[in-house]
Amino acid sequence: MKAGSSNRSSCGRLDDGALYQELKLMPNKDVPGVELKKYSCPYCLITFDAFEAIKSHIVADHKSEALPESEGTVHLTINGQEYTFQVEPDWTLYYLIHDKLGFTGTKLMCDRGACGSCTVIMNGRPILSCMTLAIECKGKRIETVEGIAASNHPLVEEYVKHHCMQCGYCTPGFVVTAKALLDRNLNPTEYEIREALGGNLCRCGTYPQHPKAIMDAAKILREANREPGIRDAG
């Protein structure tokens, strides 16, 4: 999902005419009273008083360079796949992955950091996607419940086996939090599990079932020896 332009070459370079338009260097003559006094080079941030001056500068010094990325450009990896987005300053990570990308497994319940239903894993740590701005996620590695399910993680099967859900709305957040726990601790105690799940709320009251499912999933992972030594890394 890369921002693109028909006037760009494969390396991102614009042709001469498109360059000035895309950089929005032209004074807006359509707006009465608006008169641009300074022109800032988007490559090196030198300012010029006249449009012709910055035009000459870019042609002389930067013509062969790819257009710099705007501040709202975010590169990140979600479930192992790389994406590039142009985000608005007020977009949350939840909005990006749920509304823009269609990973609807991540749920929004409180939208204020109180319930854990929107939990995703960012660079190995569970975080609340409703409280994280998309612009903060530059270069991050995100894992959602879809990625966990696609990896055939035993948590999914054990959650079903132990009937850990009633309405199921909170369940993805629990599974994601549990996955982050097992990534750093393959032999958690019940206390450690309850502590890890402390930020996840369930209005249906399924709490007693989660430790059982997580401990059984951990046992399967230990027996399969899928991630040897990972407990020590935590």
**Residue of 46, 203, 226, 233 that binds ligand FES (CB under 6 A):** 203
Query: Residue 216, CB half-sphere, CA atoms under 13 Å: how many?
Result: 15
- Interface with ligand FES, residue 117, by CB under 6 A: yes
Q: Supply the DSSP symbol for 112.
A: S
Is residue 145 within 8 A of residue 175, CB to CB? The reply is: yes
The nearest distance, CB 220 to ligand FES, in angstroms, is 23
Which H/E stretch holds residue 223? helix 209-224
- Interface with ligand FES, residue 198, by CB under 6 A: no
CB atoms within 10 A of CB 160: 12
Q: Supply the DSSP symbol for 122.
A: E
CB atoms within 10 A of CB 179: 22
Nearest Cα residue to 168 out of 218, 119, 107: 107
Q: Which 3-state string (H, E, C) describes 115-162?
A: CCCCEEEECCEEEEHHHCEHHHHCCCEEECHHHHHHCCCHHHHHHHHC
> Binding segment for ligand FES among 37-45, 46-54, 162-170, 187-195 (CB under 6 A)?
162-170
Query: How much helix, strand and coil, in percent to the nearest 5, is found in the chain?
Result: 40, 15, 50
> Binding segment for ligand FES among 36-44, 65-73, 177-185, 197-205 (CB under 6 A)?
197-205
95 vs 124: CA distance, rounded Å: 20
- Interface with ligand FES, residue 160, by CB under 6 A: no
- Interface with ligand FES, residue 66, by CB under 6 A: no
**Residue of 113, 124, 198, 234 that binds ligand FES (CB under 6 A):** 113
**Residue of 167, 190, 195, 226 that binds ligand FES (CB under 6 A):** 167
Nearest to ligand FES of 79, 117 (CB atom) = 117
The nearest distance, CB 208 to ligand FES, in angstroms, is 12
- Interface with ligand FES, residue 133, by CB under 6 A: no
The nearest distance, CB 133 to ligand FES, in angstroms, is 13
- Interface with ligand FES, residue 96, by CB under 6 A: no
- Interface with ligand FES, residue 111, by CB under 6 A: yes
Nearest to ligand FES of 109, 133 (CB atom) = 109
Q: Which residues bind ligand FES (CB under 6 A)?
A: 108-111, 113-118, 128, 130, 165-171, 202-204, 206
